[in-house]
Structures are given as structure tokens and as C-alpha cells.
Amino acid sequence: MASSCSIPSSLVPLLLALLVASCSWSVSADKSGGGGKGKGNGTQTTLFRSGDELRAYRRIVARMDRLKKASVKTIQSPDGDVIHCVPAHQQPAFDHPKLKGQKPEDEPEERPRMSADAAEEDAVFTQAWSDGGKQSCPGGTVPIRRTTEQDLQRYSTSGSLRRYGMKPRAAGVRRDSTSDGHEHAVGYVTGDQFYGAKASLNVWPAKVASAAEFSLSQIWVISGTFGNDLNTIEAGWQVSPELYGDNSPRFFTYWTSDAYQATGCYNLHCSGFIQTNSRIAIGAAISPASAYNGRQFDISLLLWKDPRRGHWWLQLGSGPLVGYWPSSLFTHLGGHANMVQFGGEVVNTRPSGSHTPTQMGSGHFPREGFNRAAYFRNVQVVDWDNNLIPARDLRLVADHPACYGIQGGYNRAWGNYFYYGGPGRNVRCP
């Protein structure tokens, strides 16, 4: 039986290019360099595995078309993003074989308990598309950032559409070896049973040197080994020209149950994460961001496991819930985490044979301190009894401290904290 899907007219040029690729095994595609929208500066030839790439393209286009048709409201963001307000039960999560036919569950009755002396007023961040909180999707819907023709064209020049929205295999968590080009400056706790993590981190417009690189700051909740059974859930902010087409810091999520091999993805690019919030768009720009020697803007994130149903929820500090990762997605995280990690990560492709100048955090070293360096403050974990407690024995490590550093401490206002980051290439980091 033949099958068909409706192709948006705006994507016809890319489809034709891929059809040519299926016959000739190559296609000349627009090359966007640093990822600026609409700033082509040449062409390059990209090889495709014709059948696999074409099927991947058709799958992405069919999903885009379905979400567009399901949308009950469309919002044009000042930064160029288009946000579709999609009924919550029609979001991509429910394409997953283990989630088909389901609907978003009610919010948990019990949230992690915070000690009285640790209570704080959490700032909820704003995003460009929401116009300072004046715009949102209607109740019962969730905002989903539209994937565009430019997104697919940009990604197809440097990677495979079969892995669109996914991290490189076996990359993304700090380990002993950094030969894959991923570099970290992180604080971590291990050797116990963890049921969540919380921290506040300031947001920066980090400069990323090329579309093949990214800079992010996030929380990782981890279980399993560093082999093929690694489970993670992740959330934070990220600058990724390849994924988003610009250099804006964007709110993101990620998950994997097999060490980034075949499961999981950023944001809502695949089935899995179930969004419940109508006011936060995952993958949308966070605005405003912090400025050097100026005002600081931070976001407070809490990832935690519901003791009753076992799902892992993402919450904005002590405020609204964003959504959850169903426990059925995971093996080890079906129980608990055995490591929690906080901090920054960049990709270093060593352009021209030297270290990348891609910035981590603010692009300044920890020693510069507040208003200048990036930070994590009030670093906490959730214990077996659903209590938020300080992250004791927090270990700080930087893969290449001459390029990106880290240093921490404790005080009454910030609890456990650390500054981290750096400029990348410099006289001590050639």
C-alpha cells in the first residue's frame, strides 16, 4: 500500500535537492558559516546515503506538517521563531511506542521539600517569543518551535538528518577521556542515590566560533555506566548555531537511555519528553541575558523524580512545572540517579589546528567573579525522602583549566556555588 504525506510548499526546494542527491549521491547546499539566519556565503558538496536520508527528511517533514495542522494558534516571535500552540495530547511525545494513546498526566501532589533557611524567591525567565510574558499559548496546548527549511538545510550540510536534533554518540557527559572534542568545567556528586537536582545559573550570549560547535550550561542527572547503558536527563541553556541558526542562548532539554546512540534528542525533536506548560517554549531564546559588568539574569531549574509515579519532572525553581520524562523511557533512571553534574560544556573542533575560541559561560575565567564570570549557585540534590539538600562533597573539575576554569565556595546567601568558564583559545591555551 502506497503512503503519502503533505509537503509544505516552503520545503519543496530542499526535497528536490534531496531527490537529486538520491540519484547523484551529492548535493550542493547553502553554507551558513557561523549560523546566522539568511547569511549564505558559499556552497559545499554534501554526500547523502540516499535512501536513509530521504526517509529521514520525509519523517521530519511529515511531523512538521502534522504539528502545523494541529496548531490552534501561531505566534511570530520578534527573533524570527515561529511558535505553534499544539493541543497537549497531540505533541510529539506521544509518537513514542511506549506512550501512544496516552495524555499528559496531572501534576504531582507532592514536590521536593526545601528547608526553611534555603527558601528563596526564584526568578522565572522570559523568552523572546512571549514578549515579556504578554503572549502565551491557550490552556490545554503547548508551545512548539517550528522546524524550518533553513534548519534542515543547515544541518544537512554538516551532519545526517537521521540524527537531526541528537548529540554526537558517546558525547555530552564529562568522563576521563576528552578525545571526542567535548570539553567541560563541572561540579559533580557521585556515590549515592539521587532523586533530583536544583541550581540557579546565569545566562550568557556565549560566542560560538562555528556552526559545528556549541556552548552550553546545564544540569545532568545520570545513571548507569559510561558504556552503552548510560541514562541521562538534562536541562539548561545552550548556544548552537547549527541547531537553531543563530547565537542566542536558548532553553533546552535532552535525554538518552543508551549513551546518545539511538535514543533521545534535544527539546521536542523526537518523542519522549512530555510538556505540560503553555508559557515556556523549549528551544526558544531566553531574553534578556547577562551582560559583562552589567545586570545578571539567571534561571533556576529543578529536575526531580515523583515518588508516586516515578516520572522525572522539570520545574522552574520553586515555580511552574515545564513537563516530565516518563520513567518508561529509561532503564537505570527508572530507579534513581548515581551521579549529578552541573556546569559547562563546549565542542572544540580545533579550527586551523588550534584550540577553538568558542566561549564557555561568559567567556571570562572564574577568577573575575560576580558580574563578569558565569556561575551556578544554590547547588542542591534531592535525597531518598524527597528533600532538597545541599550538594555535599561537590567535586570541581575542568578538563583544560587554561582554556576553561572552575572555582567554588560556600556562603549563606548562595549555599554551594561555583564560577566557571573561559574564552577558549588564549596565550595559555594555544
Q: Which residues are catalytic?
A: 234, 345
Q: How far apart are CA 209 and CA 359, in angstroms?
A: 8
The residue to which cell 557527559 is assigned: 173
Residues 410 and 377: their CA atoms lie apart, in Å, by: 9
Q: Side chain identity at 301, as an amino acid letter?
A: L
For 187, residues 6+ apart whose C-beta sits below 8 A from its C-beta are 341, 342, 343, 376, 379, 391, 394, 395, 396, 397, 406, 408, 416, 418
What's the grid cell of residue 352? 586551523
Pair 331, 222: CB distance under 8 Å: no
- Give a three-class secondary structure readout of the chain: CCCCCCCCHHHHHHHHHHHHHHHHCEEEEECCCCCCCCCCCCEEEEECCHHHHHHHHHHHHHHHHHHHHHCCEEEECCCCCEEEEEEHHHCHHHHCCCCCCCCCCCCCCCCCEECHHHCCCCCCCCEHHHCCCCCCCCCCEEEEECCCHHHHHHHHCCCCHHHCCCCCCCCCCCCCCCCCCEEEEEEEEEEEEECEEEEEEECCCCCCCCCCCCEEEEEEEEECCCCCCCEEEEEEEEECHHHHCCCCCEEEEEEECCCCCCCCCECCCCCCCEECCCCCCECCEECCCCCCCCCCCEEEEEEEECCCCCCEEEEECCCCEEEEECHHHCCHHHCCEEEEEEEEEEECCCHHHCCCCCCECCCCCHHHCCCCCEEEEEEEEECCCCEEEECCCCEEEECCCCCCEEEEEEECCCEEEEEEEECCCECCEC
- Quick check: 125 and 203 in contact, CB under 8 A? yes
